[in-house]
Amino acid sequence: MPPRIIRAQHLGMCFGVRDAIAFALDRAAAGPLTILGDLVHNHAVLATLKANDIAVVRDPAQAATRTLMVTAHGASERTMSSARALGLDVVQATCPLVRTVHQAIAALRRDGYHPVIIGQRGHVEVRGLTEDLDAFDVVIDETDVLALAAHPRIGIAAQTTQPIDKVQRLVALIRGRFRHSDVRFIDTVCQPTKQRQDAAVALARQCDVVIVVGGAASNNTRELVNTCRRHCSRVHHIETDDSLDADWLVTARTVGITAGTSTPDDIIDRVEARVRELAAG
């Protein structure tokens, strides 16, 4: 008997990614466009942008068009000012929920708090959050928390795509380490991430196999994989249906599908169709 195949209640593209893609395509239709870095971390989306003659550069100085777009992950004011100094017209596709993190960190700094960002060091969003700061710390696990120095006031914010349970655990550890400090936490994990994380837990608990669809470089997709693996022993991360393996479905009674916030709907549909085809034998 073929396995039951179900989707997570919340999965796939969030509004920030959809809006960024639509904005990029609209601007490209109006004139030549260059994007500073990958608009989102998904190869299919990047291929669509390339097909629309949208260039991607890693340094503003490499831009061959007058218009330079900041990605959905945001950028520092320092980076954007440098681009403007080159004579570029800087437009932002920054997700509004990433903007709220910038605002939260600015508020913490104004109130005299030392910023601590819970996130992936080196990730483009985290770079954008920290490049304007003279002093800050980035933590991702308990080891990082143990390495923190004491400050009278510590202000904590998080990369938008971090699992809220991890963030809350690290906040508790920081509070425990610095009991005599004024520790303030602003919850900046975005609602789409929370919804997809909660839905992934519910999905994985009822499945023998979980397929997570999303870019290899997508932080939120990797976090979905990690979350699912805490509740299901057979979890597979793929970018497209081409990577599916029929052996994964052997003995499975229920197969779950979820996807990261930069995964297009058509890719999810193709994955589900292929899973059903393989399950039918």
Provide the annotated active-site residues: 125
The Cα 38–Cα 72 span in angstroms is 9
* Tokens describing residue 68: 């330079």
Listed in sequence order, the residues at least 6 apart from 129 whose beta carbon sits closer than 8 Å to its beta carbon are 74, 76, 101, 102, 105, 117, 119, 157, 159
Which among 61, 48, 52 has a CA at the least distance from the CA of 17?
A: 48
* Whole-Å CA distances, 264 to 49, 92, 252: 13, 21, 26
The Cα 10–Cα 140 span in angstroms is 25
Which among 12, 3, 16 has a CA at the least distance from the CA of 258?
A: 12
The Cα 119–Cα 156 span in angstroms is 11
Q: Where are the beta strands (DSSP E) in the chain?
A: 4-7, 34-36, 55-57, 67-70, 89-92, 114-118, 137-139, 153-158, 182-185, 209-213, 235-238, 254-259
Which among 197, 151, 202 has a CA at the least distance from the CA of 174?
A: 151
The Cα 41–Cα 60 span in angstroms is 19
The Cα 228–Cα 236 span in angstroms is 9
